[in-house]
Amino acid sequence: MPELPEVEALTAFLRKNAVGSAVTRVDLAAVQAIKTFDPPLSALGGLELTGVARHGKFLDLDVSGLHLVVHLARAGWLHWRTGLPSAPPKPGKGPLAVRVHLDDGNGFDLTEQGTRKGLAIHVVRSPAEVPGIARLGPDALAVDRDTFLALMAGRSGQLKGALTDQTLLAGIGNAYSDEILHAARLSPFKMADRLSDDEALRLYDAMRATLTGALERQVGQRAATMKGEKRSGLQVHARTGLPCPVCGDAVREVSFADTSLQYCPTCQTGGKPLADRRLSKLLR
Ligand SMILES: [Zn+2]
């Protein structure tokens, strides 16, 4: 799932390659991806792309005052295309959701792999009209230390849930929360409001270092290679059973109904494996 560093890098890529071009046409291939109907997608045709912004994990294309806002969800991506075919795509076939044509002959596809569709596209007059954006907490890359400490102190819940709650802090998802907690040497199940001052500061510093490090690796990459770059920088996320790069212990996993987290017991939980509720249910 694209998170803050990937969406920020896409934003930078589009600023460089697409801003200043006019949108000639938008093809809709997956009807369920469009969440708004007024203004219609066709209203973007003929207007200049004047800016690109990021709100948490949302990508916001300013098309002369109308906003094409995209949430890439779990398996969505933006593919930059040079020399797009002019024939409209066949609807409902393959991963293509929306194709945006620009007046220089280039453009981009918004795609989504898999059968669980979560990609969401909004055409609005202001990004704040998108409910997910209106509810966002402060941006994880912009939040200052004191605000972050106050947010954690006021949160009664586990760190994993706190870091990924977009209304508390915007931009962090499943992958980077695993990475941040590993860098901070904190258990994903530790309660946010029980952090010592030292632990909370460690968490803040780890969040900044993890996100800025990922961003530096991603910016300048072509949109097509960004996801590979994300994977190569990960220490524990999606690395179950592989050695922790810091201590060599095997990375462990906790599974939930539709997601999982990874962590290093030696670095994060004093060597103790965390209870995996799904696994213990199966063994009972
Ligand atoms: Zn470790």
Q: How far is the CA of 275 from the centre of ligand 1 (A)?
A: 18
Contacts of 184 (CB under 8 A, 6+ apart): 199, 202, 203, 205, 206, 207
pLDDT tens digits, one per residue of 242-282: 999 999 999 999 998 888 999 999 999 999 999 876 555 55
Query: Per the structure block, which two tokens stand in for 81?
Result: 């295309």
Query: Per the structure block, which two tokens stand in for 196?
Result: 């010592």
Q: How far is the CA of 279 from the centre of ligand 1 (A)?
A: 22
Q: How far is the CA of 246 from the centre of ligand 1 (A)?
A: 5
Q: Identify the pLDDT of residue 217.
A: 86
Q: How far is the CA of 183 from the centre of ligand 1 (A)?
A: 9
Q: How far is the CA of 251 from the centre of ligand 1 (A)?
A: 7
Q: How far is the CA of 254 from the centre of ligand 1 (A)?
A: 16
Q: How far is the CA of 258 from the centre of ligand 1 (A)?
A: 25
Contacts of 281 (CB under 8 A, 6+ apart): none
Q: How far is the CA of 266 from the centre of ligand 1 (A)?
A: 5
pLDDT tens digits, one per residue of 83-105: 888 888 887 678 999 999 999 99
Q: How far is the CA of 250 from the centre of ligand 1 (A)?
A: 8
pTM across the whole model: 0.92
| Beta strands at 96-102 and 66-71: parallel, antiparallel or unpaired | unpaired
Q: Where are the alpha helices (DSSP H) in the chain?
A: 4-17, 131-134, 145-153, 159-164, 174-184, 197-218, 226-232, 265-268, 277-283
Q: Identify the pLDDT of residue 224.
A: 61
